[in-house]
Structure 1
Amino acid sequence: MYATKNQRVALIIIDMQQGMATEKAGERNNPQTEANIQRLLATWRQSQQPVVHVRHLSRSPESPFWPGQSGVLFQPAFEPLATEHIVDKNVPDAFTHSGLERWLHARNVHQLVVVGVSTSNSVEATVRSAGNLGFNAYVVSDATFTFAQQDYTGSFRTADEVHAMSLANLDGEYAQIVSMEEALAFL
């Protein structure tokens, strides 16, 4: 089921922080992600639909996302406006212990367009919860990215392979996978 016009649709931007924009983060896919998120964000702002910025605050002092380090800061292109909601999390799922579900329900928002990083971690965890909580979630395939990694058997998987598997894990069960152009049509 696609989002319908005349309903509130929140744009959820996950972990677009400075720590994700470094080479240390690793080999990634979808180099157009940032430009696509910027376009979605501009459209959401123009339409005055809700925007939620999710920020990861690590529990590990060695992490670039440990509070007080530059890695925690939002990338300049994704700096929230004063009217936009910020959710701080310290686990991959943006719904866990954050008040996000309550915030969305209080604003009668039941449809979510999810973008950001990483597809195989925070995006997937958040979207699984969104689906389980009854939200209509849409993951924008070309406005999310992830990193290459070894699988459980020790085989190397490219970022494109990891991304495709994460999208497959979510599609139809917890969310619908859409393109940026399809997401723009929701407004």
Structure 2
Amino acid sequence: MSMVKADRPALILVDIQKGFEDIAYWGGQRNNPDAESRAHELLTIWRDNGLPIFHVQHCSTTLISPLHETNAGNQFNELVAPIDGEPVIKKNVNSAFIGTDLQAQLDKAGITTLVIVGLTTDHCISTTTRMAGNLGYKTFLVTDATATFNKKGIDGQNYSAELIHETALASLNNEFATVVTTDIIKQNIL
């Protein structure tokens, strides 16, 4: 792995919001219940080292969605809530780069390396990671600081959250990003 603190990598926390605590709404099963805790560990390291941090907040356009701005689920999980001075990027599509100024902020700050964590692996994490890779950023995706929910296939078959998570990561690894663990990031950033 090639990343050091001197690279000033940005931590991108995607959609770690209270609405994702409603597991029944999202499919009834979720993998990696410690994802928010792992993201919190990394956020603490970034804050302690004065490294760039960007919080991404999904603002659904669907009124009944827990992530709609009028619903309490739109709020950030307390473990990773932004503090003063940390940018919040609001989006309403899967990619944190579409319809936002994230790329402009990263480029203005001279940031070329990204560490991505958050929810959900196969939706906003995957889309944001793919775009980051396509835009030329050196991108690291943290497997144990991401999570997703089970999905129904087109034939009605239920696919487990862990299978969806692992398949999404396999599609991204070494193509759009380097998939790593929290411990690997911690060993390389300190």
What SS does the corresponding residue of 1:6 show, helix, strand or coil?
helix
AA aligned to 1:138 is: F
How far apart are residue 6 of structure 1 and its match? 1.1
- Indicate the residue corresponding to 1:42 in structure 2: 44
- Indicate the residue corresponding to 2:172 in structure 1: 170
Deviation string 1:8-62 (CA, Å, 9 cap, x unpaired) is: 1011111111101123333100111121111111111001101111000011112
Match of 1:102 among 81, 101, 104: 104
- Indicate the residue corresponding to 1:158 in structure 2: 160
How far apart are residue 173 of structure 1 and its match? 0.7
**What runs of 5+ residues in structure 1 fail to find an aligned partner?**
none
What SS does the corresponding residue of 1:13 show, helix, strand or coil?
strand
Q: How does 1:29-178 map to 2 (within 5 A)?
A: 29-178=31-180
Residues 163-172 or 15-24, more deviating: 15-24
AA aligned to 1:96 is: I
Deviation string 1:104-141 (CA, Å, 9 cap, x unpaired) is: 01111111110010000000000000000000111101
> 1: distance between equivalents of 2:2 and 2:156?
38
For residues 152 and 186 of structure 1, do their structure 2 counterparts lie closer, same or farther at Cα, with a shift above 3 Å needed?
A: farther
What SS does the corresponding residue of 1:104 show, helix, strand or coil?
helix
- Indicate the residue corresponding to 1:4 in structure 2: 4
> 2: distance between equivalents of 1:74 and 1:111?
24
TM-score after normalising by structure 2: 0.94
AA aligned to 2:70 is: G
| Identity between Structure 1 and Structure 2 (%) | 34
> 2: distance between equivalents of 1:140 and 1:83?
24
> 1: distance between equivalents of 2:97 and 2:69?
20
TM-score after normalising by structure 1: 0.96
Deviation beyond 6 Å, 4+ runs, structure 1 = none
How far apart are residue 177 of structure 1 and its match? 0.3
> 1: distance between equivalents of 2:159 and 2:165?
10
How far apart are residue 151 of structure 1 and its match? 2.4
What SS does the corresponding residue of 1:144 show, helix, strand or coil?
strand
> 2: distance between equivalents of 1:72 and 1:177?
27
- Indicate the residue corresponding to 1:183 in structure 2: 185
How far apart are residue 98 of structure 1 and its match? 0.4
How far apart are residue 77 of structure 1 and its match? 1.6
For residues 2 and 151 of structure 1, do their structure 2 counterparts lie closer, same or farther at Cα, with a shift above 3 Å needed?
A: farther
> 1: distance between equivalents of 2:156 and 2:179?
28
How far apart are residue 154 of structure 1 and its match? 3.1
> 1: distance between equivalents of 2:86 and 2:113?
17
> 2: distance between equivalents of 1:23 and 1:181?
27
Q: For the Cα contact (< 8 Å) 2:37–2:79, is it kept in 1? A: no
